[in-house]
Amino acid sequence: LLILGIESSCDETGVALVESSGDAVPRLVAHALHSQIEMHQAYGGVVPELASRDHIRRVLPLTEAVLTESGRSLRDVDVVAFTRGPGLAGALLVGAGVACALGASLGKPVLGVHHLEGHLLSPFLSADPPEFPFVALLVSGGHTQLMRVDSVGHYELLGETIDDAAGEAFDKSAKLLGLGYPGGPALSRLAQQGDPAAFKLPRPLLHSGDLDFSFAGLKTAVLTQAKKLGEHLEERKADLAASTQAAIVEVLVKKTLKALQETGLRRVVVAGGVGANRLLREQLDAACARQHVRVHYPELHLCTDNGAMIAMAAAMRLQAGRQQASTEYAFDVKPRWPLDALE
Ligand code: ATP
Ligand code: MG
Ligand code: FE
């Protein structure tokens, strides 16, 4: 089964081909991506209307690129998958509209995918895919959740952020430090030259006894520190970046360990953009190695949004019999859509 996947939920247009046969883990055939980051940088964040228009410009050329690269044609595609939500309504409509138009014109069924399920299953695109069941730490720009994953479609929410997401904490702190948008990667780069113990920043909800997170207070603490430093901020910026990163990572690692303890599971899957963070990988690997727990990550370039994870999620849902592709081309999108509400 050859699945074409289209991602357009936010500021990345992604298209990919994934092939599945029998019970084997589906295989990535080709993928192409265009990031709008540069376009939105001037505004310090994503401008929804610009995002939609750019998806329109990019999606067909990217589709042609993956077909050419893989030596396949549109006729070879069996199912067209797209991101149905959550995300920006206008941006989602572009991917959904194009997917359904392609499906209708080819006479092939379509399948709407949950963006977070795409992130969650993205480690299955790596050379050493995980096995079920596992604890998932989903850390993206809009979400921070711990989940118990028993199989495709069986997701139990264990805890989540009550305010900002981890990626948002990185981005907002980076913005305060003048590091541009999205600041996560820049902050983590600067942090390498800083002292993570230089500033005492809060570890919100670290001892709350549950598996929830809170990062809004951290951003305020970073702002307070930055103001206090005043004209000395520039020379202490790397220290403040390192301290911020250490605070976020410590909470993520400790709560993940707690989720392992509570579920009794021996495997962790990390997914979402913050999963690219080096310190998080180092500290989680070290902590889990001590407890003989396996950790799986998506490949670095597949941590943030991409079409491969959407095609993969569609392939795995079909394979598991969780969903059927449909020839009902009257599409809708779900800008707000909790993962545990997935049928
Ligand atoms: P969602 O998936 O929740 O809708 P999103 O799609 O915007 O949100 P992703 O694309 O998964 O989120 O991830 C983007 C986020 O990851 C941004 O907040 C970005 O700063 C962060 N990020 C990317 N690389 C790193 C890194 N190396 N260190 C820290 N944060 C990072
Ligand atoms: Mg993005
Ligand atoms: Fe995402």
In this prediction, residue 296 carries a pLDDT of: 98
143 C-beta closer than 6 A to ligand 1: yes
User: Is the sign of the CA dihedral 94, 96, 99, 102 positive or negative?
Assistant: negative
Contact 108, 328 (CB under 8 A): no
Q: Characterize 178-209 residue by residue with b for buried, 16 or more Cβ atoms within 10 angstroms of its Cβ, and e for exposed.
A: ebebbbbbbbbebbeebebebbebebbbeeee
For residue 145, report the distance from its CA to the centre of ligand 3, in Å: 13
For residue 304, report the distance from its CA to the centre of ligand 3, in Å: 6
Instruction: Report which residue type is found at 58.
Output: R
Eight-state DSSP code of residue 26: P
- Residue 165 CA from chain centroid, whole number: 11
- Residue 127 burial (C-beta neighbours within 10 Å; 0-12, 13-18, 19+): exposed
- pLDDT means per 10 residues, the chain with 343 residues, are 98 98 96 97 94 98 98 98 98 98 98 98 97 98 97 97 98 94 95 98 96 97 97 97 98 98 98 98 98 98 98 98 95 94 81
Which residues are CB-contacts of 253 (< 8 A; sequence separation ≥ 6)? Answer: 280, 283, 284, 287
In this prediction, residue 180 carries a pLDDT of: 87
Q: What does the alpha-carbon distance between residue 146 and residue 138 come to, in Å, rounded to a whole number? A: 6
Residue 140 annotated as part of some ligand binding site: yes
275 C-beta closer than 6 A to ligand 1: no
Residue 15 annotated as part of some ligand binding site: no
For residue 336, report the distance from its CA to the centre of ligand 3, in Å: 13
Ligand 1: atom nearest CA of 171 is 20
Find the helix or strand (DSSP H, E) in which 147 lies: strand 144-151
Name the H helices within the chain.
Answer: 37-41, 48-70, 89-106, 115-121, 166-176, 184-191, 216-229, 233-263, 278-290, 307-319
In this prediction, residue 260 carries a pLDDT of: 98
Could you give the 3-state DSSP secondary structure of residue 36?
coil
In this prediction, residue 320 carries a pLDDT of: 97
171 C-beta closer than 6 A to ligand 1: yes
Angle at 304 between CA 78 and CA 140, to 5 degrees: 115
In this prediction, residue 341 carries a pLDDT of: 85
Model's pTM, two decimal places? 0.97
Torsional class of 94: left (φ above 0), alpha (ψ -120 to 50), beta (otherwise): alpha
CA proximity to 182, closest of 45, 8, 39: 45
Kindly state the tokens that stand for 126: 């790596």
174-178: Cβ within 8 A, 24+ apart: 174/241, 175/44, 176/219, 176/222, 176/223, 176/226, 177/222, 177/226, 177/233, 177/237, 177/240, 177/241
